[in-house]
Amino acid sequence: MTESDPRRRRDPSSISRARRYTPRGRTVREAAGPEDNRARENGARDREAARRERNRAQQEETGDLAAKRRREAAARSRERRQRETGAVTAEPGATGTRRTGTVKSEPVRRTGATREQTRRTTAPRPARTRRTGTIASQRRPANRTTGPVPVRPAPRLPRLGSSSRRMRMAAAFVMVLLAVSGARLIQLQVTDSAAYAAEAMNQRLTTEPLPAERGSILDRNGNRLAYSIEANYIAVDPVMLKGEPAAVAAELGPLLGRPASELEPLIATKETPQGDAIRFTYLQRGVDLAIGDQIREMKDPGLIIGDDERRIVPGHDLAANVIGFTGGDNGEGLGGLEAAYDEWLSGEDGEVSYERSQSGQPIPGAFYREEEAVPGNDVQLTLDADLQFQVQNILEDTVEEHDAEFGSAMVMEVGTGEMLAMASTPTYDAANPFDVDGDEAYRDYGTQATVDPGSIHKAIVFAAALEEGCIEPDGTMPVAQTINKGGEIYEDGYPHGDAVLSLAGIIAQSSNVGTIQLADCLGPEKLYEYQLAFGLGEPTGVGVAGEAAGILQPPDNWSGTSYGSVPIGHEGTATIIQMAAMYAAIANDGVYVQPTLIDHLLDSSGEVEEEGPEPDTHRVISTETAENLQYLLQAPIVDETGTGRNAALEHYHLAGKTGTGGLVVDGEYAEGHVASFVGFAPAEDPQYVVAVSVYVPGGGGGGSTTGEAFKEINEFALGYFGVRPATEPAPVFDVWG
């Protein structure tokens, strides 16, 4: 242990002198004087300086010894390398001596044999001179030849790798990698962050429609003729679909009632022609809730089952040709009033957008936006469901009985123009509108079929003749059996020869000759004016989509035969509703009222939003003329020579006119006849107009074919609405002058 060791200087058995106390409570240092303290401090400094000097000397001695040992080790290492390379050759008798690398030696072959020249002895090594490092006692052998000694070059050893260089290269690579990664992160999070965020949102975002509830169609009493109930729609997101399209289509086909071949293209198509992803495609709408539950159990995230509605028509074929039907992807109106008032009934669809997971479930707390659907409004019709049912049954029986191809029947309220019943046949089930044999089933023959009206048109000539003074209500005129117009012979159906007929007789027997003579009195221009005034040549605007206007020939287009054909209802076409509106004008004391089907337009809560369209009204003939004609039109039913005797109704007085017209197909008249009967009741106080028309390919007159149907409809309508029976007997007409 040296003196500089702190353990030698420390006195473990006593406290420091600086901390010793005198008996008076003071330390030794405090008790000593200033001079003693300075001397003590100087001595401490001297001892510290001496200790440092000893440590320095000891370190120098230790350093010299270490340096000497390093030099000796280096010398031994050089000598060993020289021997191995053949640079030093040992002398005989002095094998233990060592030479410097500057001494030439014989070349030594490295053959693996033991070399005697290089054997080492145990003799002590001679001392080296410090200055040159050579052996002092070394001697050159006497038999050593002089001259250059060839030296075999040492083999080139592989270069050892540098760890520091590897570290620098690794550090550089890591820095480059970090720089590239940082640049990419900056690009993703700063430069392109909005685009990638939007793309990710689009992949998760799903937008589904919220179909608006379609409004109802009601009859005049509030009975629902067509309305919607809760259902499901089935759609597909091809991007999210997990199953194979063919397998999914095969499984959905029986459930949706559609062939798998129709569903597979919808399921498999993932992009539009423009390359945009398809995320929503309807497969079927109006699916029963039970079917929706079965499809939901398939648990395919690509199949979407949403809330929808299904159109219900409780009456099935009741007024189906008027009401129409819905269809298509959006459930829009495709026919009848459903099409005409589609915008009012449809409402406004809403939509819901939300983020959903890979399993197809909404992500809680994620983006969600909903636009509520605005329900559609209601339409209340003037039709009466009970009356419509009876009229439709009577018409179908008539068509079946007479082998008719089609027919129509309607009831119209006099004074208001409201249509109380509108029936057509053939018809269809509006609850299953696509199960039909042909498109003709959708046609409303009362408003869309144009035919030659035949003799029901003659009422216009009678009204105009009375109004213009060509004949008096009780007047008479000679009527021949036939008449020639433009080379065409026109004759009366009732054989009377050359006779004098009263106006009542002309009307009762539906005399063609008498009617043509009255039209000659009027002239073409005047007759054309009355035709227009009574609503011919243009649609009535009742409200049914696709209503026909018919054909009305102006006088400039008349030929020679037109003077005979036009007055009796030929060379022109009309719809049966036009004829009903014309007779309603006579029954309404000479005022024409536009027919209408719409009573009120209601909002979704059932409140009246607006009244039905105000019908167009205008006076056609005077009240006196209308009243006279109301009386005279009873003659075809009550007179024994009348064409409509089979329409006579007990307890009620009916007025009307029969007609036998033609059906033009492809510019030519088809076989058979269009038989019609149009009139009103009660005759003394008209309330309702009834019109019946059927096309019979086998032929048949208006009275014999439609007279019975006309009577039955009037009988039910008058009793249904509580019209009192007649108290006076039916009038008696003198048809002969």
Domain termination residue (choose one: 20, 40, 65)? 65
Residues 241 and 320 in one domain: yes
Residues 565 and 649 in one domain: yes
Residues 333 and 472 in one domain: no
Looking at residue 477, its pLDDT comes to: 96
Closest CA to 54 of 2, 131, 117: 2
- Across the chain, mean pLDDT equals 84
pLDDT at 193 over 80: no
Question: What pTM does this model have?
Answer: 0.70
Looking at residue 335, its pLDDT comes to: 87
Most confident of 43-47, 157-161, 347-351, 400-404: 400-404
Neighbours of 185 (CB within 10 A): 10
pLDDT at 101 over 70: no
Q: How many domains does the chain have?
A: 3
CATH code of the domain containing 700: 3.40.710.10
Neighbours of 142 (CB within 10 A): 7
Domain termination residue (choose one: 43, 65, 87)? 65
104 contacts: CB under 8 Å, gap ≥ 6: 148, 149
Most confident of 174-188, 340-354, 634-648: 634-648
User: For the chain, what is the largest distance between any 2 Cα atoms, rounded to a whole number of angstroms?
Assistant: 189
Q: Which of 34-38, 187-191, 297-301, 549-553 has the lowest mean pLDDT?
A: 34-38
Residues 330 and 453 in one domain: no
Q: What is the pLDDT of residues 259-268, one digit of tens each?
A: 999 899 999 9
Q: What is the pLDDT of residues 266-320, one digit of tens each?
A: 999 888 888 888 888 889 888 999 999 999 999 888 898 988 888 999 999 999 9
CATH code of the domain containing 341: 3.90.1310.10
Is position 654 within any domain?
yes
Is position 176 within any domain?
no
Is position 157 within any domain?
no
Residues 614 and 665 in one domain: yes
pLDDT at 128 over 50: no
Residues 266 and 400 in one domain: no
Is position 224 within any domain?
yes
Amino acid letter for position 221 = N
Is position 575 within any domain?
yes
Inter-axis angle of helices 458-468 and 524-533, nearest 10:
110
Q: What is the pLDDT of residues 589-602, one digit of tens each?
A: 999 999 999 999 99
Residues 224 and 256 in one domain: yes
Is position 466 within any domain?
yes
Residues 567 and 641 in one domain: yes
Percent residues over pLDDT 70 in the chain: 81
CA angle centred on 159, ends 158 and 162, rounded to 5°: 145
353 part of the active site = no
Residues 302 and 447 in one domain: no
Looking at residue 84, its pLDDT comes to: 76
Is position 457 within any domain?
yes
What separation, in Å, do the N-terminal and C-terminal C-alpha atoms of the chain show? 173
Euclidean distance between CA atoms 689 and 717, whole angstroms: 10
Which is the catalytic residue, given 455, 510, 562, 693? 455
What does the buried/exposed string (b/e) look like for 279-307 if buried means 16 or more CB atoms within 10 Å of the residue's CB? beebbbbbbeeebbeebeeeebbbbbbbb
Residues 393 and 358 in one domain: no
Residues 303 and 395 in one domain: no
> Residue 598 is part of which domain span?
386-432+439-720
Residues 552 and 519 in one domain: yes
Euclidean distance between CA atoms 29 and 40, whole angstroms: 10
Is position 135 within any domain?
no
